[in-house]
A and B are shown apart, each in its own frame.
Chain A
């Protein structure tokens, strides 16, 4: 977000967006480096879609500037405005917005022929992109004959085939149910990851990744933002109220909204048959030598290897005695800090697994929680969401 970083990085997006629509006023400055994924996280009506429209060129700015990969795309003061068709920005829209009258292949080829490529080579490249997305066999299907996940990959291929200078994903998981969301979030994490798989050197080779361009994820779901993005910008009422890494946001939420969102617990680990062995972040060895690894149980048994487990702070129950019953994850810990945040009380838990738990002030009072209090933690296996950890 700092201005000195804004003018230097090659290939980056620098946006200083000021515009007014009726009563609503947008005033946002953000920059995204090449190869970085930034999330714009905000509630409905905060101005997320206005930002997408302004960056993509669907809505001219009243003031400010949009600069991408060294090109000025919008600068009202200088009288510069590049229309959307000249911006080289790939947008993955909510509900995909695939052309219903074209099959998957022609949807992906559309951008290529629009940019002057002849039909036959454009279709060949589109087929390569669909192959890279594991959709090679479905290229002749119309969008309505594809599943939600398949449509999503077609939309991604359509946006990436044009080799955009910026990839914008606007609520890419917006309209899906919880199960599909979790599945597609993993999918998306793989596609948003920096390098193209297969180690291809050529930047024009189709591959499942977005390559080394800045990526902007627009979402109202903190899990999407924290799992998929390197940087999170929180947008409220047309203004950024806080920016930082997911860890920074969780440590010091600046607003009530940020606090509510940023309590999301992210745990890195290795998954196997629904058991996640949590990586030990603490480099200092315990007196007994190696620290015992913490094992989390998740309902999802389909994932293997490096994962990010997300646990909502309200999904963590705290007890004074060892709880009986069905929760798969039960362990003993100590409260390190207790923060009243209005309607909720946030409890930061210590080793063996530092987590954030949100409980009602009444419950906090009943449990007599103070820093240092010994507590039992329980988390249902169904509350542990898994996504592949793509940051290694």
Chain B
């Protein structure tokens, strides 16, 4: 194909590359606004880096206050990502594969936390599962389990906002998967569960991996739902984002130090995922 194109357009081979590179240059308003966009995102980072207490960085990060929050953040965000995968993948499968009345409504419902203000989500969780909540009250009376203001509350709030990301990504991957692979597995005698476990999940593996990592990152950064549902109890429910908020009032250097760590982590993650999340080529 390429050879045909070059041979038919033989009279003007020299002009081609020049013209193409000219077309790649954006018109000036586009270039200007794109530049404004870059500045908008770069400026806060510059502020953070300029304000950073570089000399005492490690002292700030190794304080009890930060370590407690970091441990809690890691544990709760990993647990939330696991919950998101455990609940999100089956939900995605049902939404992608089963046609039933009200499917759109269910999809809207389970992806609502993506657009809902997290504070509202946290408040809703509180009304449902709090000490005097619709479900939380009877649950507490029966088992003594209290979700709010505990690590379970943190995990639940994190999972609440992170699961929709898994659902949407995995549903898309399932819809794009060539069904014939699953059919081939079935003709080879594989039960439906075996097909799911040995063919479907491995084949959407890359998308699933991205979904879980993105969900984990979302959980790690979760603030609004967590603070509303689980509060900000040091050593119990105070995650890194909450610690930043608290430290801004009392110890700015610590807040900046934590922020730098979170920024570095997120940036590293995005760079590592860049080819998978949105295929660049």
Q: Chain A: residues with CB nearer than 8 A to chain B?
A: 56-58, 83-91, 93, 97, 99-101, 110-111, 114-115, 158-159, 162
Contact = CB atoms under 8 A, between A and B. Distances in A.
Interface residues of B, number: 19
B281 interface: no
Contacts of B190: 85, 110-111, 114
Nearest to B184: A97
Given A97-B181, A99-B181, A101-B203, A91 B187 contact: yes
A97 B180 contact: yes
A100 B178 CA distance: 12
Nearest to B190: A114
A58 B185 contact: no
A86 B185 CA distance: 12
B183 A162 contact: no
B199 interface: yes
A159 B189 CA distance: 10
Nearest to A164: B187
Contacts of A162: 188-189
Contacts of A58: 183, 186-187
A4 B114 CA distance: 64
Interface SS of A by simple majority: mixed
B194 A114 contact: yes
Q: DSSP majority for the B interface?
A: helix
Nearest to B205: A101
A90 B189 CA distance: 9
B187 A87 contact: yes
Given A101-B205, A110-B198, A158 B180 contact: no
Contact of A83 (B186, B198, B203): B186
Contact of B183 (A84, A88, A99, A115): A84
Interface string B255-276: 0000000000000000000000
B187 A84 contact: yes
A111 B205 contact: no
Contacts of A100: 203
Contacts of B189: 85-86, 88, 111, 114-115, 162
Interface in B166-187: 178, 180-181, 183-187
Given A85-B190, A93-B184, 6 more contacts: A58-B187, A83-B186, A89-B187, A99-B184, A110-B190, A110-B198
A40 B199 CA distance: 30
A85 B193 CA distance: 11
Give the one of B180, B183, B189, B191 with max A CB within 10 A.
B189
A114 B202 contact: no
Contacts of B187: 56-58, 84-85, 87, 89-91, 159
Q: Which 7 A-B pairs have the closest CB atoms?
A: A111-B188, A84-B186, A114-B190, A114-B189, A101-B202, A115-B189, A97-B184
